[in-house]
Amino acid sequence: MTDLLTLEVHDLHVNVLTGIYSQETHLPQPLHISVSADLEVAPHYAPDTPLSASKNYMAIKEAATVFPEGVHFTLIEAVADHIIDRLFAADPRVQNVSVKIIKLAISEDGESIGITLTRHRK
């Protein structure tokens, strides 16, 4: 069994151009995004282990919050794939990524309506 280190960035609120209905296609929609990324682990993490033995959490946050200017994602699944693609491209140690997206604009009474997409490096 392979050891993995899971880095997590949760509860990001991001405005993204997404949606299929006419009222959704003009303005960014508020999304609640959480990302978990599994990395190959270092053999051991000593007190003086450098950051290069892990991954900077801010790189995960950036992948989940910075989107190409003017690009409209029809489906939130495409938003999740965009985040996953960025994380795989940025670091070969990333083995698996899960992205959970909740569409805040359609939630009523506190429910969470959205998707979770998990991809494994091939």
For the entire predicted model, the pTM comes to 0.92
For the CA atoms of the chain, what is the radius of gyration?
A: 16
Contacts of 11 (CB under 8 A, 6+ apart): 32, 34
Residue 46: both structure tokens together: 């000593």
pLDDT tens digit sequence for 53-110: 999 999 999 999 999 998 999 999 999 999 999 999 999 999 999 999 999 988 788 8
Domains and CATH numbers, the chain: 4-43+52-120 (3.30.1130.10)
Residue 121 carries which DSSP code?
A: -
Residue type, 17: L
Cβ–Cβ < 8 Å for 20, 3: no
